[in-house]
Structure 1
Amino acid sequence: MQLSNHDRIGQSLTLLSQALSPYVEQKMREFDDNKWFDKEKKRISNKNNSNHSNEEIIQDLSVLLNVINQRWDKVFKQYLSPERGLVNELIKVRNKWAHNNRFLAEDAFRDLDSIHRLLVKIGAEQEKVVYDHKQIVLQRVFQKQSNFSQAQMSQADEQIREQLKELLDIIPFQDARLLLRALTHRSYMFENPTKTQGDNEQLEFLGDSVLQFLAGDYVYEKYFGEQEGQLTQKREKIVSNEALAILAQDFNLGKWIKLGRGEELTGGRTNPTLLSNTLEAVIGAYYKDSGIDAVWEWLKPMLEQLETIKIEPNCSQVLNDAKNTFQHWAKTNHQQDPEYIVIQESGSDHDKVFGVEVRVKGRVYGYGKATKKKEAEKQAANVALQKLGLI
């Protein structure tokens, strides 16, 4: 049968009295106070109007702790300093236990720790048993805290699941909180800092990498044997902003995005760039939630669908091609990939603008500026191609 906290405190107090009895007697005799025991016996008899045996008195924890407390300055200070507070605290613990008061796990751990510290201070071997009691109670404290946290998390998860039920039917997240974060635009986070656990930009970065990998694998398997340039073009069509925006619109992703007031008023829910970025964040979150196989199972039908959709080229597509074209030029002429260097950041945290230079072997070929690093890089590549007369 598992011991209660009250039982563990009682056993530990008994061990403390067993250790303190010879210790107190020895220190008092060294001080040449052989009458201390008679004084305590008389005090107890007067207080309780009853007789106690010598053995009962010398084993009484209340007596031992009071002797230490009353003769602290003359006898025990030199041995136990600075632990006088422990002595006073343990007198209260002993009284609480004697009155059968309840010991919650947190209180029991603190009281056992006090008993253990005094046993260690006097060099008593009983400290090992009390230490074990303390560790068991500490596990209960951790379990209690864990259960409370899990209950809170479970309640929060249920609320989110209720809000996002339609979307979760399409993307079966195990942890709905990850999906909520993927839907949280930075504008919403800055306007509602206490209602979020962060925005979706890191998940967007992760999702972009996952999507690039899966799209690359898809075109490699489907068009095995084709040239690298052709495979790259097919992959870039699949992962373009226009393609991702179409996918996002197919399952009404804009309806679920958490936006700040400014983005809401300027049509953020239908903005193709915002939709594609959010979809990337959802992909990153789903990867963290369920792994690469689950993402692939969900995305593959959509990748096949994208190949049948005619996507009209726009500025974004031109810029995508610009990066690929400039990379090909750099590798052909200098056997080196271009480097994109952020040389300027301006604006507030939730509205940054990035200035990016593209360099090959240390030489600057172009400069771009945009609210996202990737867009600034594309602009820089486009400028580089214009300077080279390639477009």
Structure 2
Amino acid sequence: MNIFQFLKRKRGSQATPPKLNEQDQQTLIREFEKKFNLHFNDPQLIITALKHRSYLNITNEDRIYSNERLEFLGDAVLDLVVTHYLYEKFPKRTEGELSKIKSILVSKPVLADIANQMSLGTFVLINWGEEKTGGRKRQSILGDAMEALIGAIYLDQGLEAARAFIQEHLLKN
């Protein structure tokens, strides 16, 4: 069950995803932390990491409150962690070979696939238009949410926690 379905059931049938109230946010945070075995010092980072820009149509917030800034940061953290991992793991590979491997590992399709396997899309906050058109499964939304989550972990807990998350979910094989 995704967050929209949960709220719809809780509040009754509504045509659009409702704006999360404080209690709904706490429920989302609790369920998210439980599912992914994460604990945030600043739980608001979870909400921000999950907030697709389409959801701002519901909340009437400025675009800076979407997950895009965390996505920007998470992209850089992901690049650093994956680059360092590949550098250590493949000491005999050339820069060109390492770049090719890295570009595949940090690509939207790979990130979206991992996010899908984790059921991250069930937590993403999107508007009704995105909901109706399959936004929870959309590669760009899932990949961006994954990068935003990495950015949130980095801000909340530092590079080592972000590295552990990336290694567990992306580099374990």
TM band (smaller chain):
0.7 to 0.9
Residues 235-256 of structure 1, C-alpha deviations (whole Å, 9 max, x = no match): 1111011110111012211101
- 3-state SS in 2 of match to 1:259: coil
String of CA shifts for 1:226-284, please: whole Å, max 9, x gaps.
Answer: 10011011111110111101110122111011101111111100001110011101111
The one of 86, 96, 106 equivalent to 1:239 is: 106
User: 1:165 maps to what in 2?
Assistant: 30
Measured in 2, the distance between the counterparts of 1:173 and 1:192 equals 23
The structure whose RCO (Cα within 8 Å, separation 6+) is larger is 2
Partners of 1:289 and 1:246 in 2: CA distance: 25
Q: Distance in 2 between matches of 1:175 and 1:243?
A: 28
The match for 1:206 is: 73
Q: Is the 8 A contact 1:161 1:168 kept in 2?
A: no
Rounded to whole Å, the distance in 2 between the matches of 1:294 and 1:239 is 18
Number of residue-to-residue matches in the alignment: 150
Which of these residues, 148, 155, 173, is aligned with residue 281 of structure 1?
148
1:268 to 1:227, Cα distance in 2 relative to 1, 3 A: same
Once the 2 structures are TM-superposed, how far is the Cα of residue 166 of structure 1 from its aligned partner? 2.9
Counting only pairs closer than 5 Å after superposition, residues 15-164 of structure 1 correspond to structure 2 as 156=22, 160-164=25-29
Residue in structure 1 matched with residue 12 of structure 2 by the alignment: none
Match of 1:217 among 62, 65, 84: 84
Measure, in 2, the Cα distance between the counterparts of 1:230 and 1:197.
Answer: 36
Which residue is equivalent to 2:57?
A: 190
Q: Does the 8 A contact of 2:50 with 2:125 survive in 1?
A: yes
Deviation at 1:161, TM superposition (A): 3.5
| Superposition CA RMSD, Å | 2.1
Distance 1:201 1:211 in 2: 15
Partner of residue 257, structure 1? 124
2:28·2:123 contact (CA, 8 Å) conserved in 1? no
Identity of aligned residues (%): 35
Shift of 1:197: 7.7
Is the CA contact 1:219–1:235 (under 8 Å) kept in the aligned structure 2? yes
The 2-side partners of 1:205 and 1:190 are apart by: 21
Correspondence for 2:6:
none
Q: 1:159 to 1:263 in 2, by over 3 A?
A: closer
Counterpart Cα distance in 1 of 2:39 and 2:124: 17
**Paired residues of 1:204 and 1:282 also in contact (CA < 8 A):** yes
The secondary structure found in structure 2 opposite 1:296 is helix
Alpha-carbon separation, structure 2, partners of 1:178 and 1:289: 8
Match of 1:292 in 2: 159
Partner of 1:269: 136
Structure that is richer in strand per residue: 1
SS of the aligned residue for 2:66 comes to coil
Give me the whole-angstrom Cα distance separating, in 2, the residues matched to 1:244 and 1:186.
19
Q: Give the structure 1 partner of residue 14 of structure 2.
A: none
CA distance in 1, matches of 2:169, 2:58: 34
Q: Which amino acid aligns with 1:168?
A: E
In the alignment, is the contact (CA less than 8 A) between 1:160 and 1:176 conserved in 2?
no
Structure 2: 5+ residue stretches without partners: 1-21
Aligned partner of residue 164 in structure 1, secondary structure: helix
**Equivalent position SS for 2:65:** coil
Report the CA distance shift for 1:161/1:197 in structure 2 as closer, same or farther (over 3 A): farther
Letter in 1 for 2:77: V
Higher alpha-carbon Rg:
1
Q: What is the rounded CA distance, in whole Å, between the counterparts of 1:168 and 1:224 in structure 2?
A: 36
Q: Distance in 1 between matches of 2:46 and 2:87?
A: 30
Contact 1:210–1:284 (Cα < 8 Å) also in 2: yes
In the superposition, the TM-score normalised over structure 2's length comes to: 0.79
TM-score normalized by structure 1? 0.36
